[in-house]
Amino acid sequence: MADTNFKPFVAPDVKMKELTVKSIVLGCIFGIIFGAATVYLALKAGLTVTASIPIAVIAITLGRKFFKTTILENNIIQTTGSAGETIAGGVAFTLPGFLFLSLPSSANYFDYITIFILAIFGGILGTLMMIPLRRSLIVKEHGTLPYPEGTACGDVLIAGEKGGEFAKTAFYGLGFAFVYAILQKILHIIAETPFYMTKQVNRFLPSARVSADITPEYLGIGYIIGPRIGGVLVGGGVLAWLAIIPLLATLVPADAIATQLVKLGYLASLTTPGGQGGWDPATHTFANYSSAIYYAYVRQIAAGTVAAGGFITLIKTIPTIVSSFKGSISSLSRDGVEANKGDVPRTERDLNIKIVAIGSILLVLLMAFLPQLPGDSVGQKLLIGLLVVIFGAFFVTVSSRIVGLIGTSNNPISGMTIATLMATCLVFIAIGWSGKAYEPMALVVGGMICIAAANAGGTSQDLKSGYIVGATPKYQQIALFIGAIVSSIIIGLTIKFLDKPTTDMIAKGMAPDAHAIGSLYFPAPQSTLMATLIKGIQSSSLDWQYVVVGVFLAITMELCGIKSLSFAIGAYLPLSTTLPIFLGSAIRGVVDHQKKKKNIQVSAEEEELGKGNLFATGLVAGGAVAGVLIAVLSGMNATGPLMASLNLEEGMSHALGQGGYYVLAVAFFAFMGWILYRIAKQQQKVEL
């Protein structure tokens, strides 16, 4: 039911600057920055963090000091900017899957134009389908659907309007992360991945490897997600790298591991040296057994765990899905489009409902005739377009309702995408489209639904923020369309730059024409999973025995009361990714424990704006953006050689020894963790 007593911060009859050139430009800039950072994090860690609140905080500070923006302009800034983060996550979770499909020609679709088109189409679809749902979900159910991130963001904007500066801490974190990134990724004074690995002949724990990518963004992510999720993530990594890999290293002969790597394409042949793990055909041994076993077996087991975890998450939300869809449809049938007719208040003006119908038809037609998309005929592409619109209408509704209840970070996007891919493949097989040639077409459907559902969740939160502050929905919807288009330009460029091996990667043995995405540098776990599922259904080429082990591993976790999807992602990713995230979450756990001991009570909004969260957000944004910029500079002909000449790693390793070099790096990381801890302990007074 609608809250009839609710009054927005800015009354409907108040005239105030809102959709202005400066608000759109600033929003696009933030969308570009956080979009690029999200791509980097999604490919590297398989995780994303919400950008709306950080953008709102920064917009308030910059707006008050330099641009004299109103609260409604600040709301447009965060609305426009947030589109970049949600679309980037959907793109990075699916579209790199073109690289991992059965036919080598499928990788041809992983080009800038195709990525750009699918990113824009998916982003627009997510916002388009939310236009008729806003009144039913945001307005009429204001008292029942809290939309936690949207509510917090609205409170942030109101608090900023009342006064007080609280972005300074985030800027400190961003600056610290930039300096750290220069020392680590350019000068290499700080080692990127210190590790310790036992030998294959170790009688207690053979080929066990403990490593950590000690970067600012991982520490910040860990603090933001907290000890519960951080512990489950690293738990999956511990099982994979310190239990399963040592066990298989004991039981499976090297030749069998090499044969499996050849089958999966990670090794050219049994007589060819190299490949994952560094195969030596003369001695029949690996230089790195843990890496060889990880690629040969563990990734397939973990892929089954991720798939099952996503599907279980989706099944658990079926009651919510059914009620959401029924509630939204019944609300639409009752209300019709009355909000768009006659003289309605400014705060109730949406874009015309006709835009949804016209936009959906145009989307299908464009997909049918654009040559950059997979499909041999207009008929095939028309079916793809129709499936996208049908699944999009359903999952946009589902996504919006779910984030209204449990927040964007808990939205089961992976489960929705898996369900879409399975349904699409089954439709294909039913009409006789089986085989490898149809795999890219299935990925297009799944990718666009993933992007649309992710953007719909973010759009819902933005519209909730706007409802609280008294924004004009029509202007927010326009801003979201603009943000989707502008951020998509940079998202495609970012992915392509990150896929190109840097001089550093080449120096460490990667071929100049290889793909960095899919390697240890950018594992892209969700994209690899999507491709694995499509190949398994379309071509029946999947090693189901390993996948089934992963499925029952997910079921075991659920029976133990553990969210299997987080655990599965931890098992799929290298331990070097999950361990530093866990350390950041442990700092959060210590800080929260100390607050509890001192009986310090804070609301959810105050927690979002606490100094620890803001500094951690700065670490994430600064570290990720620096990582993207450095990757771009390293890949450019003009700056690549210069970046390589600044590398001090060899000199540092020679002077300190490999062990000393790693100890120094750990000391730097510990210092950063100590600073985060000290800042997080400080209390920030927030008036809400």
CA distance 178 to 175: 5
pLDDT of residue 152: 72
- The per-residue pLDDT for 1 is 46
Compute the average pLDDT of residues 448-469. Answer: 90
DSSP helix/strand/coil, 493: helix
Q: What confidence category does residue 558 fall into, taking pLDDT thresholds of 50, 70 and 90?
A: very high
The whole-angstrom distance between residue 484's C-alpha and the CA centroid of its chain comes to: 16
Taking alpha carbons only, the member of 301, 187, 297, 211 closest to residue 252 is 297
Confidence band (pLDDT; 50, 70, 90) for 167?
low
pLDDT at 566: 81
Over residues 56-79, the mean pLDDT reads: 85
pLDDT, residue 329, reads 57
Residue type, 231: G
Can you give the residue ranges of every domain in the chain?
A: 21-173+348-505, 180-302+545-681
What average pLDDT does range 654-671 have in this prediction?
93
Is 252's pLDDT higher than 70?
yes
pLDDT the model gives residue 241 = 93
Torsion, Cα 659 661 663 665, to 10 degrees, reads -150
pLDDT of residue 662: 94
* Average pLDDT of every residue of the chain: 84
In the predicted structure, residue 580 carries a pLDDT above the cut 50:
yes
Phi, psi of 517, rounded to the nearest 5 degrees = -75, 130
The pLDDT value recorded for residue 353 is 78
- Side-chain half-sphere of 81: how many Cα atoms within 13 Å? 27
Q: Which of 107, 43, 92, 88 is nearest to 439 (CA)?
A: 107
Answer yes or no: is pLDDT of 57 > 80.
no
Q: 171-182, pLDDT tens digit by residue? A: 788 889 989 989
**More confident call, 69 vs 54:** 69
Query: What are the CA-CA distances from residue 360 to residues 95, 121, 132, 524 (Å)?
Result: 22, 10, 13, 30
The listed range with the strongest mean pLDDT (123-127, 301-305, 646-650) is 123-127
Q: What is the pLDDT of residues 22-44, one digit of tens each?
A: 999 999 998 888 888 888 888 88
- Which region, left, alpha or beta, applies to residue 600 given φ > 0 means left and ψ of -120 to 50 means alpha? beta
3-state secondary structure 77-91: HHHHHHHHHHHHHHH
Token pair 């909730």 in the structure block, residue: 464
Measured between alpha carbons, how far is 423 from 426 in angstroms, rounded to an integer? 5
Q: Write down the pLDDT at residue 324.
A: 52
Q: Token digits for 254?
A: 């090297």
Give 4's pLDDT tier (boundaries 50, 70, 90).
low
The pLDDT value recorded for residue 587 is: 95
Give me the pLDDT at residue 20, please.
94
Please name which of 209, 110, 167 lies closest in space to residue 617, comparing C-alpha atoms. 167
Does 406 score more than 80 pLDDT? no
pLDDT of residue 341: 46
* pLDDT score of 144 more than 80: no
Q: Report the length, in residues, of the chain.
A: 688
Of 415, 459, 381, 441, which is closest to residue 127 (Cα–Cα)? 459
Interval 491-510: pLDDT, tens: 999 999 889 888 778 887 78
Output the pLDDT for position 242. Answer: 93
Query: Does 229 have pLDDT greater than 80?
Result: yes
User: Binning pLDDT at 50, 70 and 90, where does residue 203 land?
Assistant: confident
pLDDT in tens, 313-360: 767 766 755 665 565 555 555 554 444 444 678 888 888 878 888 998
- Per-residue confidence (pLDDT) for residue 688, from 0 to 100: 46
pLDDT confidence of residue 326: 61
What share of the chain has pLDDT > 70, as a percent?
Answer: 88
CB 91 within 8 A of CB 118: yes
The runs of H, that is alpha helices, within 560-610 are 564-572, 575-597, 604-608
- Per-residue pLDDT at 604: 55
